[in-house]
Homo-oligomer: A and B are copies of this chain.
Amino acid sequence: MSACDTCVVRNTAICSGLDSTEIAALSNIGRRRWLEAGESLVWEGDQSVLVANVIEGMLKLSTGTADGREQIVGVVYPSDFIGRPFGATTDHSITALTAAHVCVFARADFDRFAGEHPALEHKLLQRTLAELDRTRKWMLLLSRKNAEEKVATFLLEMSERLAIADCDSGGQPVPLDAFDLPFSRQQIGDVLGLTIETVSRQMTAMGRAEVIALPSRRAVEIRDRAALEAMAG
């Protein structure tokens, strides 16, 4: 019995299009790996030597300028695919935000396997197209939205993404009204293209306006979703 048989993302990750024989073959070239929060799997500019499926936890994709300004260009959740198949180098670092469990493949092995299994490439294509849509939507936020709109949009997005990851309330995942952020204030700034101080000020202001509540450092509670949506623009 391969590890895939008990894998929690077996039916949602790119593996979902494969039959049991194919899964067994894929299982042969992959291996499980644990990452601690803060540990990196890939560094910006590295040779692209590995790709992976996320089984558990959250990771960030980030780039930076030469003088140290960082930007988080993506966040991945369980069942998402990470790494750059069919390419020589990786343009961004991949770092665990929480403790994470991933299923890694040597890129060369994966590329070969993918070439032989169109169903897998099809899944990967769909995922990549969806990710591109999401990334382009984020560009609008980065360049045209103000600080309040950015933070409001971020909180709403977290409420939705964490729902998908956490609770499967009878089929359709429902946005959470209370959750723990997997990000520090600094990291929220890196996602939104803001400084830590601006993020803090915006969140405090939303708390004062009773749109949200902030029971502890990482915890957020959405008190007035309609108002938050209005703020998101």
Contacts and interface: CB of A to CB of B under 8 A. Distances in A.
Given A121-B122, A125-B121, A128-B128, A140 B86 contact: no
Nearest to A68: B144
Interface string A56-93: 00000101111101110110000000001111000110
Interface of A: 61, 63-67, 69-71, 73-74, 84-87, 91-92, 115, 118, 121-122, 124-126, 128-133, 135-140, 142-145, 192-193, 233
A85 B67 CA distance: 39
Given A67-B233, A140-B71, A144-B71, A132 B131 contact: yes
B126 A129 contact: no
A126 B115 CA distance: 12
A126 to B, nearest CB: 5
A66 B137 CA distance: 13
A162 to B, nearest CB: 22
Count of this chain's copies in the oligomeric assembly: 2
A79 B118 CA distance: 23
Contact of A129 (B74, B128, B135, B139): B128
Contacts of A139: 71, 73, 135, 138-139, 142
A61 B129 contact: no
B144 A65 contact: yes
A219 B49 CA distance: 42
Contacts of A130: 87
Contacts of A70: 144
Contacts of A65: 140, 144-145, 233
B84 A137 contact: no
Contacts of A121: 118, 121-122, 125
Nearest to A116: B118
Given A121-B121, A128-B125, A128-B128, A140 B85 contact: no
Given A87-B129, A87-B133, A132-B132, A63 B140 contact: yes
A192 to B, nearest CB: 8
